Amino acid sequence: MADHRIKSVVIVGGGTAGWMAAAALIDRFGTQKHTTVTLVESPDIGTVDADEATLPHFREFLKWIKINEVDLIQRTSATFKLAIGFEGWAGEGSRFFHPFSEHGMPLLGTSFQHWWVKARQIGKAEPIDRYVLSSELARAGKFGVPTGDPASGCLFFHYALHCDAHLVARYLQSWSILAGVRHVQGKVLDVKLDGATGDVTALRLDGDREIQGELFIDCSGSRGLLIEGALKTGYDDWTHWLPCDRAAAMPSEIAEPPPSQTRSIASRAGWQWRMPLQHRASNGYVFCSRHISEDEAMATLSRAAAGRSLAEPRVLPFRTGIRRKIWNRNVFCLGAASGFLEPLESTGVYLVQRGLQFLLGSFPQSRPNLALQENVNRANREHWEHIRDFLVLHYKLNKREGEPFWDECRHRDIPESLAESMELFRRTGRFTPQATEFFRPSSWLALYAGFGILPDYYHPAVDDVPEEQLALELENMAAGIASVVARTTSHEQFLRANCPAKPAPVAASAAAVAV
């Protein structure tokens, strides 16, 4: 039998996407020695290096590639994240959370949503966050690891990390090189294509070097050196749905106890993020350049930071959209090379991870298989569109009336798929089948509830319970959560006691190889 296994994989790019790909691929191929993994990056072309708030899936990624979470936290100075707090989105002074957990607990076999909707309709329920432990812990700036022990009350919820993207990439770099990834430093000057098939065959590097490969992973950032530069795959622009096109980012000194949430604060022409790291705070302003100049955005960001700035703000332009195919010929793209969605729900790292799952789950043989590629491309696109819709929902439901940027967002057309989801929820309290993966129903519910949208429908089983009893059940649930929050330690104390940053952050110890 012929051996159709791929023998060489070449990754282009050493940012977050490149080193995540390297770590996942060497985890797959490191021991069997049949397939080599090479990563090429140019020391002259920088990485995005914006700080990264992650989703709980990132912890699954660490487990997948066998990295110890506590070690990574300590060496990269990371902190914990229980939720995103949306401030001002539902009007000045408003705040609601998008937590990484379900809302409330089912009662008498019917999901909490139905009980809450009825109780809210009759004025006997608090905002939905009061029934979510992780939201309330985030509100109080506290953190505890879910124990599963009923006595602790911290039964079950998910959490994520706030990361310094630069340090995490260096951590994954050291780990990958030790595990067997060949690291080449050099600038790709040209991409060679096979005259007959159009496949990429080799990369020409500076210093008259060449790297050949069978499968190429394009992690070269938004320019998409291989997927676009060489293969002209095409890009679908989504700016008409998500109009922000720049981010200003600035690190600052720590001036307050670290919150256990990412703060997303609505601003004149976009929104600002605040997230804590153990060694500094991260601040950003994602904005629409038609509504504010770069200078004004940078000045706004500098004024808003709680601590003294550690560097001048820098502006990162982006173009929201998706590469038409994540997989074209023998090139698979990840990270900014595959598209860009603004960091409103921290999906950048997650989408790299999801892309890697698509790749490894449908890993090619050395002979072409168009049906396999098309299947992956379709699934990936549907996934991105679902996440895009979730992001658009934030803007569509905003309640900042009288502000040009926000008025425009409320009145702007939305994708048909989102219009259908919204209608379905309003009439039935249900979610489209795409919500089975990510973002899940609890995330959509958090948004609708946060913006004060209630469905017409709740399950009729709720009417079997007298209203006074319904109110009492909810009151007890909120009181139980408040008592756990009161007993839980602050996020700052938790970090200090369990995973304080190590003084010398991770260093890239392994040297690049010469080719």
Ligand X SMILES: Cc1cc2nc3c(=O)[nH]c(=O)nc-3n(C[C@H](O)[C@H](O)[C@H](O)COP(=O)(O)OP(=O)(O)OC[C@H]3O[C@@H](n4cnc5c(N)ncnc54)[C@H](O)[C@@H]3O)c2cc1C
Q: Which is closer to ligand X, CB of 130 or CB of 323?
A: 323
Residue type at position 219:
C
Task: Tell me if 313 sits within 8 A of 248, measured CB to CB.
Answer: yes
Residue 153 makes CB contacts below 8 A (sequence gap 6+) with: 133, 480, 481, 483, 484, 487
Paired sense of beta strands 188-193 and 246-252, if any: unpaired
Q: Which is closer to ligand X, CB of 247 or CB of 376?
A: 247
Residues lying near ligand X in the complex (CB under 6 A) are found at 12-18, 40-42, 45, 47-48, 50, 52-54, 165, 187-188, 219-221, 225, 247, 249, 284, 316, 318, 335-337, 343, 346-349, 352
Q: Map residue 62 onto helix, strand or coil.
A: helix
The β-bridge partners of 251 are 282
Residue holding tokens 């209630």? 454
Q: Which is closer to ligand X, CB of 55 or CB of 501?
A: 55
Count of beta carbons in the 10 Å neighbourhood of residue 111 = 19
Residue 296 makes CB contacts below 8 A (sequence gap 6+) with: none
| Least distance to ligand X, CB of residue 37, Å | 16
| Least distance to ligand X, CB of residue 34, Å | 26
Report how far Cα 42 is from the mean position of its chain's Cα atoms: 25
| Least distance to ligand X, CB of residue 202, Å | 14
Q: Computed over its alpha carbons, how large is the radius of gyration of the chain?
A: 24
Q: Which is closer to ligand X, CB of 172 or CB of 462?
A: 172
| Least distance to ligand X, CB of residue 287, Å | 11
Burial class (CB in 10 A: 0-12, 13-18, 19+), 357: middle
Q: Which is closer to ligand X, CB of 283 or CB of 421?
A: 283
Q: Which is closer to ligand X, CB of 248 or CB of 499?
A: 248
The β-bridge partners of 235 are 323
| Least distance to ligand X, CB of residue 243, Å | 16
Q: Which is closer to ligand X, CB of 107 or CB of 217?
A: 217
**Residue from 122, 412, 65 nearest 238 by CA:** 412
Q: Which is closer to ligand X, CB of 72 or CB of 107?
A: 72
| Least distance to ligand X, CB of residue 4, Å | 29
Q: Map residue 396 onto helix, strand or coil.
A: helix
| Least distance to ligand X, CB of residue 121, Å | 36
Q: Which is closer to ligand X, CB of 17 or CB of 37?
A: 17
Q: Map residue 490 onto helix, strand or coil.
A: strand
| Least distance to ligand X, CB of residue 335, Å | 2
Exposure pattern of 394-420 as b/e (b: 16+ CB <10 Å)? bbbbbebeebebbeebeeeebeebbee
Count of beta carbons in the 10 Å neighbourhood of residue 295 = 11
**Residue from 83, 449, 84 nearest 266 by CA:** 84
Q: Which is closer to ligand X, CB of 125 or CB of 352?
A: 352
Q: Map residue 176 onto helix, strand or coil.
A: helix
| Least distance to ligand X, CB of residue 163, Å | 8
Q: Which is closer to ligand X, CB of 55 or CB of 481?
A: 55
Residue spans of beta strands (DSSP E) within 370-506: none
CA distances from 290 to 238, 246, 267, 269, 476 (A): 16, 10, 14, 9, 49
Q: Which is closer to ligand X, CB of 293 or CB of 365?
A: 293
Residue 81 makes CB contacts below 8 A (sequence gap 6+) with: 53, 54, 100, 159, 160, 161, 162, 260, 261, 262, 275
